[in-house]
Structure 1
């Protein structure tokens, strides 16, 4: 009978494949650590740029830097322009258009409508078939709830057209009533 050979701790034989897998794993782990550190640094830089941009956009520079008079004027002009646009957008446009569309205009052609939100006025350029139609349109505008203080700015009879229509410009105060701000 053969002798039993009990080897409870067999020898591990290292093969080149095992060593190469171990080396590859170590290289992969080190590469991941280096990439993670690089991404952390880059994320911190991006956060710093974001904070700087936010401060610039909100006007908070963190330090009390005084603006030159020219920069102050430019900033004031930009703010005034933004307020003007905001006022224009808050106007009750639908009511004004509905009022103008509801008026009988068989002898009138509206050409332009130019609002001035700062002054609360609107300028209307139109063309009438004759002077009587122009005056009637003027009176009907004055009678509306939306417009008041309607005044004739200019008018001219177009002589080179056979019908000789009247082109005219009106100015009116645009009442906003209970419009939402």
Structure 2
């Protein structure tokens, strides 16, 4: 009877790193996004506070001038400009930012990581940079955005396979119309509550 040698069995007790990689990328992207949005929000708050302070000073000067009986023309121009700036800041702060972020977050899944969001309230548009594990995940994400009530005219502008990265994710950009106008008019007239 001949004995056969069984080759030694080698077991790898390491967990696959694919899931952790995307989890880390998602965490970092979320932190960067939160920091960027926080800084933007803080900048708007500072701008609003400065505008309100300037407006209050102008109002006090206007009261002093009106007690004398006449308001200087340059003060009228300055007040009108400051009112326009204050109204613009208030308009931007009153946009439904939470709804935008909630719609973006609800459309993502484990296969898609948001990298950047560039909302343009004046144009009523948003550009979304993201990374997907597969082309199907990218297409599914676009479909989910199309199904959202917050976005219209959703289209993938470009995409590129990241061949230098081990998992070869697809980095892509989506442009969409940000549908917030009807919602803000309801809030201003009291119809949305």
Q: Structure 2 length normalisation: TM-score?
A: 0.52
Question: For residues 143 and 125 of structure 2, what CA distance do their matches in structure 1 show?
Answer: 17
1:167 to 152, 166, 171: 171
* CA apart distance, 1:56: 7.0
- Please state if 1:55 is matched with 2:64: no
- Match of 1:97? 101
- Match of 1:146? 150
- Match of 1:64? 73
* Partner SS, residue 100 of structure 1: helix
Question: For residues 80 and 159 of structure 1, what CA distance do their matches in structure 2 show?
Answer: 49
Question: For residues 117 and 154 of structure 2, what CA distance do their matches in structure 1 show?
Answer: 14
Paired residues in the alignment total 126
2:137 to 133, 136, 143: 133
1:178 to 174, 179, 183: 183
Question: For residues 51 and 139 of structure 1, what CA distance do their matches in structure 2 show?
Answer: 51
Question: For residues 94 and 169 of structure 1, what CA distance do their matches in structure 2 show?
Answer: 21
* CA apart distance, 1:102: 2.3
Structure with higher helix content: 2
Gaps of 5+ in 1: 1-49
Q: Cα RMSD over matched residues?
A: 3.5
Contact between 1:155 and 1:169, CA under 8 Å: does it hold in 2?
yes
Question: For residues 146 and 52 of structure 1, what CA distance do their matches in structure 2 show?
Answer: 39
* CA apart distance, 1:96: 2.0
Question: For residues 75 and 99 of structure 2, what CA distance do their matches in structure 1 show?
Answer: 45
